[in-house]
Amino acid sequence: MASKKKQTRKAGATSKKGKKAASKKSATRKKPAAKKTAKKIAKKAPRKKAAPKRDPLAPRAVTTGKGPTPAEVGASLVDMFNRGLLHEIEQLWWSPDITSIEGMGQAWDGKAAVDGKNQWWLQTNRMISGTAEGPYVGATGFAVKFHLEVEEIATGQHIIMDEIGVYTVKDGKIVQEEFMYGGGPGA
């Protein structure tokens, strides 16, 4: 039996002297510093409550952004038109990215192009009189009814026109105008 005990000690057990030596080594050895982690433990921000799911059949809010509302822009446009301040309307209310669409199916993009279209119109027509009614306000813009009497310069012909201008407003500026004529396309 004695031989079995020796084998056991040799295999893994330590003597009393070995245990003391091991404990002295561990006492003199410095304990490793706690590992520093790259992530500091921060206070957790409170979780935001999940937005309630919107009923797909319920209406949603519509906005035109910051700045004057469609009602304010429309009222100013009608007032300025009736006072003959056409160029001032463009300066005050047009977005640099405005699009102008005419009832005959043509569009001009950008302030310079739309200004060019208007200059051409004023060079070929002389406005005798004009009035604007409205505005008729919606969520994203407004409409104005125009009644114009113009003379075509090339022929001298007098033309009475009724048209509707539909304006889209974004961030207090007109980003699109579309003119619709009575009597169908190109009338």
For the stretch 90-106, pLDDT in tens is: 999 999 999 999 998 99
Strand partners, 94: 174
- pLDDT at residue number 77: 98
Task: Check pLDDT > 70 for residue 22.
Answer: no
List the one residue out of 121, 139, 127 whose CA is nearest residue 74.
139
Q: Which domains does the chain have, with CATH numbers?
A: 70-181 (3.10.450.50)
| DSSP-derived secondary structure for 90-126 | HHHHEEEEEEEEETTTEEEESHHHHHHHHHHHHHHEE
* Ranges 18-27, 85-94, 121-130, 159-168: which has the least confidence: 18-27
DSSP 8-state secondary structure symbol assigned to residue 87: H
d(C-alpha 177, C-alpha 108), whole Å: 10
- What pLDDT score does 143 carry? 98
* pLDDT given for residue 184 in this prediction: 46
User: Is residue 8 very low, low, confident or very high in pLDDT (cuts 50, 70, 90)?
Assistant: very low
The sign of the dihedral angle between the CA atoms of 171, 173, 179, 180 is positive
* Per-residue model confidence as pLDDT tens digits over 108-146: 999 999 999 999 999 999 999 999 999 999 999 999 999
Model confidence at 13: pLDDT above 70: no
DSSP strands (E only) in the chain: 94-102, 106-109, 125-137, 141-152, 158-170, 173-181
pLDDT category at 84 given cuts 50, 70, 90 is very high
